[in-house]
Amino acid sequence: MTAEDNDPDAALALTVAAVWRAERISCPHPHVLQSWLQGGLDGGAAEFVAFHLGDSGCPYCNAVIEDLKAREDEAAQPVLEDLKDRLLRSTVAALRKHKR
């Protein structure tokens, strides 16, 4: 005799997860996710998003976050390149001054 097939908690959790995933009842708007990513949320809102992405593991919102991160990385690239360029130039200038 086994009790494995008859676990009401597991069955309920499965149902809740299925309904929740199908309906995306509590999904925050992508704009909210973006604000959260940029540190623009605080208190309960930030906690809710963190819980939604982490503990709830919502595949939809995690995909949105991945997408936003990828775009941010792209946007950040030129700035980094520019900074490297300026650093290099100021180093060269400093070396030239030193040599005389």
Q: Report the interface residues with Zn ion, using CB under 5 A.
A: 27, 58, 60-61
* CB of residue 27 to Zn ion, shortest distance in Å: 3
Per the CB < 8 A criterion, the answer to whether 55 and 26 are in contact is no
* CB of residue 51 to Zn ion, shortest distance in Å: 11
Give the residue with the Cβ less far from Zn ion, 40 or 54.
54
Give the residue with the Cβ less far from Zn ion, 51 or 60.
60
Give the residue with the Cβ less far from Zn ion, 15 or 91.
15
* CB of residue 43 to Zn ion, shortest distance in Å: 19
